[in-house]
């Protein structure tokens, strides 16, 4: 049920953290994976490592792309289609947060940057990939949202708004495209040990407080999210769409 042999997946932000773990796990299950981030050399290094682990099989392709730029997203999709012929799985993972602090202090530019990078680009990319999925009557979209999209925050409110928007976006795609056998689901991770959240988990006081508030008594690792993404991209979740799965060690309960 978890086999992805013959499937092609685009994963944005796949050079580090959660995106990289997802790409590695999907390749381990036989998928052809497109490794994407803003840095070409980092994309190539991850793609090379995946191909080496696959015994020289060319499962991974490096395609740099800044998700905030529409023309680069279009090139990402066009080049993937040229190389692999189809896109079965889209993982919208890359995101930005450029403001920490009260929402009253965020400037228009930072507000627009967060909404554009996290939400508008996800909307764009989904709609660049969806027509091919409609044609083939098959597709799975996985959006990496956040528990920040499910509850309020004194520090990362605008980021939370963008992440809540992503959850609404998968619901709408589910409703509009379910008739074509296309599924869209979101994952809402809690605190995961990646560069993105380094300032939080490197702060011993914050980390301790967070662990004490978490039923599983630890923060997450990228692999904790990769397993759920694999589930949502595979046949194992064939009757699930429009949902958000919270993967946070229980901290929100
Ligand atoms: N870590 C957490 O605690 C946590 C919790 C909840 C949700 N999330 C979500 O999980 C997702 C992945 O985060 P992560 O923690 O794995 O972050 P990460 O370790 O910092 O990795 C981010 C990845 O995205 C790429 N990236 C950043 N900006 C980009 C852009 N504009 N265009 C294309 N690629 C870009 C980075 O590569 P380059 O810098 O080379 O472009 C890198 O590959 C994000 O959507 C985040 O909101 C994370």
Report pLDDT for 213: 98
Best mutation site among 11, 12, 14, 18 for ligand 1 pocket (most ligand atoms within 8 Å of CB): 18
CA distance 174 to 181: 9
> For residue 179, how many other CB atoms are within 10 A of its CB?
9
In which order are the strands placed within the sheet that holds 60-62?
A: 60-62, 32-36, 8-12, 89-92, 139-144, 182-189, 244-247
| Domain annotation for the chain: domains and CATH numbers | 8-247 (3.40.50.720)
pLDDT at residue number 200: 95
- Say yes or no: CB of residue 15 within 6 Å of ligand 1: yes
pLDDT above 70 coverage of the chain, percent: 100
Displacement of CA 206 from its chain's centroid (Å): 25
Closest residue by Cα to atom 25, ligand 1, is 13
Residue 95 CB less than 6 A away from ligand 1: yes
Closest by CA to 100, choosing from 140, 159, 44, 152, is 159
Catalytic residues: 159
d(CA 49, CA 55): 10
Residue 69, pLDDT score: 98
CA of 93 to the centre of ligand 1 (A): 6
Cα(179) to ligand 1 centroid in Å equals 31
- CA count, 13 A, side-chain hemisphere, 81: 12
Instruction: Render pLDDT for 112-151 as a digit per residue (tens, 0 to 9).
Output: 999 999 999 999 999 999 999 999 999 999 999 999 999 9
183-208: average pLDDT: 98
**How would you class 169 by CB atoms within 10 Å of its CB: exposed for 0-12, middle for 13-18, buried for 19 or more?**
buried
What's the confidence (pLDDT) of residue 102? 97
Report pLDDT for 244: 98
Q: What DSSP string runs through 98-129?
A: ---S-GGG--HHHHHHHHIIIIIHHHHHHHHH
CA of 19 to the centre of ligand 1 (A): 7
The pTM score is: 0.99
Distance CA 190, CA 249 (A): 7
């Amino acid at each position: 049920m978890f086999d992805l042999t013959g499937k092609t997946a685009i994963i944005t932000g796949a050079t580090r953290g959660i995106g990289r773990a997802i790409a590695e796990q999907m390749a381990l299950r036989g998928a052809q994976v497109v490794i994407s981030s803003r840095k070409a050399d980092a994309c190539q290094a991850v793609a090379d490592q995946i191909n080496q682990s696959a015994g020289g099989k060319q499962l991974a392709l490096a395609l740099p792309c800044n998700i905030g730029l529409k023309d680069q997203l279009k090139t990402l999709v066009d080049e993937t289609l040229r190389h692999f012929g189809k896109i079965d799985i889209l993982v919208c993972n890359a995101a930005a947060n450029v403001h920490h602090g009260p929402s009253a202090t965020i400037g228009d530019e930072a507000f627009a940057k967060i909404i554009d990078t996290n939400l508008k680009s996800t909307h764009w990319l989904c709609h660049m990939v969806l027509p091919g999925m409609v044609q083939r009557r098959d597709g799975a979209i996985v959006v990496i949202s956040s528990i920040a999209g499910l509850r309020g925050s004194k520090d990362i409110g605008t980021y939370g708004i963008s992440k809540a928007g992503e959850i609404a976006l998968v619901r709408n795609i589910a409703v509009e495209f379910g008739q074509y056998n296309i599924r869209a689901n979101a994952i809402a991770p809690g605190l995961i040990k990646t560069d993105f959240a380094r300032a939080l988990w490197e702060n011993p006081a914050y980390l301790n407080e967070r662990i004490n508030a978490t039923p599983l008594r630890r923060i997450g690792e990228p692999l904790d999210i990769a397993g759920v993404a694999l589930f949502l991209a595979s046949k194992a979740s064939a009757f699930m769409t429009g949902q958000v799965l919270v993967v946070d060690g229980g901290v929100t309960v």
